[in-house]
Chain A
């Protein structure tokens, strides 16, 4: 096995015994990047030089016995997390030259834990998309099948991880942007509770839905990363001062006697038969591990997509107003006056999907439409949240498919936004309710594409999700396959 193929905890064992060094691990990862990046295109910006320096520092620290939670581990960041002195584009032309003078809180935390930052990963422009095709910097390809999308919007982070171009990565999830690409790339992806991980320095898409979370190769690594990034941040008003448990303590505890809710509204027409079969199989696996599965109902599920596509664009149109060509980022030089500068900068700075959502959001907030759209959507959102509260009164976790289909082909849905939006149908409700959700690999299609299963729990029950996912992972004995790009 190459070093880049290992998990965080496996590498930590080797670092502790001196069997390897961070410099070797980092070199292995960058060697892998050199081999496959031209095909996968997972990164927008590589941080090779600083990463190698960080690795050297990490090795010195290890020699002194100063080992932090992530000392020497190469980690990739979605290019939506601000990095001091390193270009942060959010996948957009309008920020193609933006260099933040500050680190996001999560980046500060990763640095403090000793992580080696490999680079900034590709994403749908402003995290608006489900395929990473809307990036100004070009599409990322799925390492399992280079003709397919890796999911999105955090497709760069999931693809980089699946291809071995990092040991773990961070993404952000507004409507499924961690869990959907995790499922399509065969890795573990967790969206924490809203307020659990600081949003400071996360470039906002939809402020009431955005949440940063980890992509990892297994559930134990997920717990390790959560230990580092979770916690209250006084710089964020919506951050919650809830105590952070040691998430590793939930690993390997078993789920004997747990009740698992299977929402009937999530097994719908249009779901891919192979996906449905794989997810039905996980029900058997968790039952074998001692859990009891019951049917639950989330009656407002059918409104989730509609509510999401009011709330998210409304917040986005306001959040993206700051990209006006005045202070930073792209400015069109063609404008003859202020209004023209605004219009031309935004017209050529933003891509089509971003403009579509700005227009939807602007419309939904306009005077005369606010009550019918934004206000109504906020009210239905409260009902969706209540659905989950009621369901969790009957069960410990909820189990659903993560996505309705496996990874689709590049270009397959770019012409039909509605089809694209439907690929988040099972993940959106989680963000609307603010609860945590995790996607864990649960098998492969006949064509060898990964399938994910999603587990959901109540607010701040990430520990419960990790316990459940770790038990499933252990019981499932999934065969270890490698992505096709491996041979490249």
Chain B
């Protein structure tokens, strides 16, 4: 029997607010343990939460970017369970009344496009982190992360393959980072993904029993874990067995999923509205305010680049992978007026330089004005393509302007027809045998003459002029 996977993803994105969701502590990652804490996020007796409105604003941004309907009123609920990283014994989350619902995003994979539904987006607080001592029977709790704001984005069970899941995940990641509301760092846990997956015989409607997958901390691991789980469930079903509803943890090293003990997940969270917080009212004015400040999203930008700059879809895709890269490219185009040439340089040398050193476009030593200046120098014939390679490398190393580098290295293209004619005449004079061959119909020898001319001019000759002059003069 052929099985079809049914997959839904739950994504937790840490929001880039300065402070935590219910207190004034810093929400920054990486501080010494338990230094970003106060009585409120420590859940001490008698303290109370006060909502950070920035969190609501960020949630609205994501809701609008994923075509969700924003509800006018929502509330916070307590999710009750005991765990040492949860100092209050409950997590403040949202339950019956989510702030945003019924959205979707379009994803592309295999050259096809597909719309994935978004069930809901809600806000909640993150829990702390446990650190287990490897040498002693002790565990430590770091509560810096406690109260860092999260949004949870729950997809519809619309995803049908591991590859599709990865494409959806990339799309959401891209949107969050574009909106500048999440840094998207999967390894540090600021962008986390859990997956629900079941199989059903292809062509049937009802869902099979699902497993929940956790602990996948990279795009690749999400795809690998799902691929493994599809095979595992298929094996179970084909062997006449039944899939158990359970949480399974992805083991990166072994490349398999393991069952978490059932007892630990037999939770009844006893959700109820948090009496310490008042309902959140999101009026039209607030939504409009956020909408107005909304940046252009990756898909919109991609389409505009193709339209306005007449560049291929592939180029537009690469150039819009991040807002900073797109901004860099647009600035170069604005200053040089050559969209396709600019695209080639940015996607070529610039990204290659950066990738080699694992640097971000924001750290690129070549200012957009320098790259644009260099492109203009090529177009004006001041330097040729080969020189430009040298110039760009030198600009990357030194951060200097192209003009300065050209001067330093004496890299000015020779376009003086008289001088070039003299050089060519000399070459023809010195190589009678090759001239004979060429004139006898051996076109390949032409390249020899070009090489000689470039060598004689130390690569500074205008290649087009060399070509033209050689053709004319060799013809005799």
Contacts and interface: CB of A to CB of B under 8 A. Distances in A.
Contacts of A234: 50
B48 A199 contact: yes
A90 B46 CA distance: 10
Contact of A324 (B44, B45, B89, B278): B89
B45 A235 contact: no
Contacts of A338: 84
A136 B88 CA distance: 23
Interface string A312-342: 0011011011101011100000000010001
Contacts of B472: none
A275 B416 CA distance: 118
Interface string B35-47: 0000100111111
A238 B276 contact: yes
A322 B271 CA distance: 16
Interface in A80-125: 80-82, 88, 90, 95, 98, 100-102, 104
A203 B43 CA distance: 11
Interface string A412-447: 000000000000000000000000000000000000
B141 A204 contact: no
Contact of B50 (A82, A90, A235, A370): A235
Main secondary structure of the interface of A (DSSP, over half): loop
Contact of B82 (A315, A342, A365): A342
Interface string B260-304: 000000001011100111100000000000000000000000000
Given A201-B47, A322-B43, A238 B278 contact: yes
B268 A367 contact: yes
Interface residues of A, number: 44
Given A237-B277, A321-B89, A366-B268, A104 B39 contact: no
B87 A322 contact: yes
Contact of B270 (A80, A102, A342, A365): A365
Q: Which of A81, A98, A203, A326 has the most CB of B within 10 A?
A: A326
Chain B facing A: main interface SS: loop
Contacts, number: 101
Nearest to B78: A318
Given A207-B276, A338-B84, A362-B270, A318 B90 contact: yes
Contacts of B88: 321-322
B146 to A, nearest CB: 11
A358 to B, nearest CB: 11
A4 interface: no
B125 to A, nearest CB: 14
28 contacts: A80-B46, A81-B46, A88-B46, A100-B39, A100-B45, A199-B46, A200-B46, A203-B45, A204-B46, A204-B276, A206-B275, A208-B275, A236-B48, A236-B50, A238-B277, A321-B88, A322-B43, A322-B87, A324-B82, A326-B87, A327-B43, A328-B44, A365-B80, A365-B271, A366-B268, A367-B268, A370-B271, A374-B272
The 3 closest A-B pairs by CB, nearest first: A321-B89, A365-B270, A207-B275
Given A237-B277, A326-B141, A370-B272, 9 more contacts: A98-B45, A100-B46, A101-B44, A235-B48, A318-B80, A320-B89, A321-B82, A327-B43, A365-B270
Interface of A: 80-82, 88, 90, 95, 98, 100-102, 104, 199-204, 206-208, 234-238, 314-315, 317-318, 320-322, 324, 326-328, 338, 342, 362, 365-367, 370, 374
Interface of B: 39, 42-51, 78, 80, 82, 84, 87-90, 141, 268, 270-272, 275-278
